[in-house]
Structure 1
């Protein structure tokens, strides 16, 4: 039985994590399903945006057995590949060539927080819980955790969450720049879909634009004159297309 649901509405692909009995903690199989769903969205040229959500609980991280197996023998081939599969779930979401939004209700913990931060934008519930969770179980952060926090909210937030294990709710996440907006639980997915549907109305333009966005906002930044040149080609493409 699949633990990842996939559907497309009005050009928006929606990936829903569906293992509520463990609060959507990522197993190896679920991680592979998530990767496959993200690649399916990318390969469908009618899709102009992707929303990742998890129902009442976003994602409680990786299942403990994956971490335990890795801990027993970190370089054993199977354990190493299994953890790599979990990592690939959120790195794939962060790399596919369409704009991505995380619609976060409940908790986003560890790898689940990485998944949310891998997207281009986050819409969260006011009562959402965003926390690393690594220190609480006695392990070092993984999956590029510090980089993900730093690139959306800066060094201070990366220290508070990743180093000192702080937890923030949805409204605090917005104040820190970890999320764009916070709403009541019942409105989170609808608001995320409204944003996604707007950009997905023109899938080709959405794909061109998100490529420029990611290059220009990559860690380290980009000089303005370089950004002008980088945007020139896709803008010329869009103008020529509009004029027929």
Structure 2
């Protein structure tokens, strides 16, 4: 990998976007490497959580040449696939069977905001800039942008940001429910990794927890009675693991 750094420590896989010269705008290559890194983490049974970060510049969105090529000929197969690769970068990350945390410093714009919103939890810099940016450059949002905003912060925030182009900083993002906590820049990645380590120390349990979490908190949610039944099997598994005969041996 040349545009993504990947490392595992204490059961946490840290995926770092590593093209600071373009503020981590998602090229086709970076998008492919990000997808590969996410699937690598999921395939590793010793990994219990993932943190994705861009260092001082989280992600400036899709690379302009990807957008320009698609606009020049949207039906050309290569252009269609290239834009799809950018979508895959955050849809795959958001769908892996591991708890995911975004550590956001600098700007998360357009597809970069989608990437942050695709994770289960966000830790941000107080001075982070979260903005859609699509309409501001004359294009319609992509990648399910309105859905990601709505499921994270609700309809009002989705309207303010997605329709009207409002930008929010890290502290406002916490107030809106777009992020869990805001810190000074130097603390963002350490705090995100510390959160991830809490669940990652038991990778098998982490994977069952996040599956139940997503089923119950996804669009539409679940009735309480259905949630009780959904949780029964993984809870029985965890009790058997902790207190069963094999645990006593």
Deviations 1:161-195 (A, max 9, x none): 00111000000000000000000000000100110
State the distance in 1 between where 2:187 and 2:30 align: 26
The answer for the alignment partner of 1:74 in structure 2 is: 74
- SS of 1:51's equivalent in the other structure is strand
Unaligned stretches of 5+ residues in structure 1: none
1:209 Cα deviation after fit = 0.4
RMSD: 0.6
1:15 Cα deviation after fit = 0.1
State the distance in 2 between where 1:153 and 1:236 align: 33
1:136 Cα deviation after fit = 1.1
- SS of 2:182's equivalent in the other structure is strand
The answer for the alignment partner of 1:90 in structure 2 is: 90
1:75 Cα deviation after fit = 1.2
The answer for the alignment partner of 2:182 in structure 1 is: 182
Deviations 1:7-30 (A, max 9, x none): 000000000000000000000000
1:73 Cα deviation after fit = 1.0
1:173 aligned onto 2:204? no
- SS of 1:45's equivalent in the other structure is coil
State the distance in 2 between where 1:45 and 1:163 align: 41
1:112 aligned onto 2:112? yes
In the alignment of these two chains, the number of paired residues is 244
State the distance in 2 between where 1:7 and 1:226 align: 38
The answer for the alignment partner of 2:121 in structure 1 is: 121
State the distance in 1 between where 2:220 and 2:167 align: 27
- SS of 1:238's equivalent in the other structure is helix
Moved over 2 A (4+): none
Alignment of 1:204-219 (within 5 A): 204-219=204-219
1:216 Cα deviation after fit = 0.4
State the distance in 2 between where 1:86 and 1:167 align: 22
TM-score (norm 1): 0.99
TM-score (norm 2): 0.97
1:42 Cα deviation after fit = 0.2
